[in-house]
Each structure stands twice: as C-alpha cells, then as structure tokens.
Amino acid sequence: MLSSGNRNVVRRNAAILPAYSFLLGLLALLGFMAIAAGLKPATNNLAIPQLFDKMFPDWFVGFAFAAIAIGALVPAAIMSIAAANLFTRNVYREWLRPDATPKDEADVARIVSLVVKFGALAFVLFLKTEYAINLQLLGGVWILQTLPAVVLGLYTRWFHRGALLLGWAAGILVGTWMAWSAAFKSVAPLTLFGLDTTVYPALVALVVNLLVAAVATPLLDAVGAGRGSDETTEADYREEAAPPIEALAEGPGSRS
C-alpha cells in the first residue's frame, strides 16, 4: 500500500492475495507429506527437497530444485522493488527533491533496488541464518504498528497526530521486547488476570498502540498541542474518471 502508484494497484493485489495464500497452504501440505513419507530432515527447510528427492526420478528432482531456487528469487525481487518505490515516493520525492521528474524517480528506484539486493546478499553470506528468521518475525510486529496511523487515519480524524506517533513508538517497544524475551519465537508467554497463555507479540503491541493513542489524544488536545493541517481534498476520496470508450478504442495518436 505504501509503495503503490494508485488505488488500482492496491485493488489488484488485494484480489490476488487470497490465491497467493491458498498456494502457501498447498506448500504447507507438502510438509505433512514429508512426515507421512517418514522423512526426518536435519532442518525444516530440507523437508520439501528431501521429499522430492525420495519420491521423483532424478531428472524431475533437478527440475524441482531449479524451480525452488528461482522461486526464492521472486519474493526477494518483489520486496526490493517495493522498498525502492517506498523510498523514492515517500523520502526522495517528498523530502529530498520535490521537483523530481518521473524519469528521476525511476533512476533512483533502480539504484535503491540494486542496493537492497546486494544488502540482502551480504546479509545471507556474512550473518547467521537465524537472524533472517528473527527479522522476519520483527518485520511482522513492526509493520502492524502502522495500522492505527495509516489505516485509522483514513476513516477518522479523532486521533491526534502526536498521539498516533506515541502509540506507534509504544507498540514498537512492547512488540520488540516481547519478541526478544521469547527468543524471537512466533509466540510469547503472557500472564493476564491469573491466566497464563501465549500470544503473538504483534497483537499485544497493537493493543498497547491503540490504548496509548486513545489516552494521549485528549491529553494533547487539553494542553493545546497543534494537530497540523489536513491537506486532503474531497477529490482525493473519489474514483478516478474512466476514459471514454471512444478514446480507448481510438488510442493515442489515432486521430488525423
């Protein structure tokens, strides 16, 4: 959402997301197949490769391994492009060069995307693999803390901008501390009203985030903290006008 060029990109990705999630479920089933086949891989990452190696002929195993290698590059490429667009549109154009042309943005995005790719490669080659898993967990914890500021701001102006920032900071601190205290596992222990359970750290952090934002909003209003100016207009919430059918049929430059 933060790196998209327009609302149609968000709509298209939202429509494809269920299919992507369904495919992830099919991959999970391959793990159960490995268990049923009696495999005992040294690590979870070896379950599917060993399953292919046991169940299929050599030529197909080579084909499957190549597909795994190529498939691993796809999400990395997508994430590097998204990171480059995020930087170009929200940092470079907004703060460093407001008069940048579309060509300038594209050139900067290409450079940033390349830097991100080499950074990821260096991370894999020179740091422990477990660090990548830890950052994956922390990434989910951190990105969820943008929900109140980014999403709630689309539906209500009740929250003070300073309160949203304080809530975000509180959520980041709580979520990071819970993940670290649980040795970066997907769930962390929680004792609440005498009930001992385990929870996803991001959810607890999100609750803290919302509580801090809700409590800090009236306090900041009471002390007269400025809310800033709302630069959105009514047109920002309207659909883009679709081009006439005649224009689509004729196309650019078709008229004499």
pLDDT tens, per residue, the chain with 256 residues: 666 777 788 888 888 889 988 988 888 898 889 989 998 888 877 888 999 999 999 999 999 999 988 887 888 888 899 899 989 988 999 899 999 998 999 999 999 999 999 998 888 888 887 787 788 889 899 999 999 988 887 778 889 999 999 999 999 999 999 999 988 888 888 877 777 888 989 999 999 999 999 999 999 999 988 888 877 777 777 765 444 444 434 444 444 3
Q: What is the pLDDT of residues 189-219, one digit of tens each?
A: 887 777 788 898 999 999 999 999 999 999 9
b/e 211-233 (16+ beta carbons within 10 angstroms → b): ebbeebbeebeeeeeeeeeeeee
> What is the pTM (predicted TM-score) of this model?
0.67
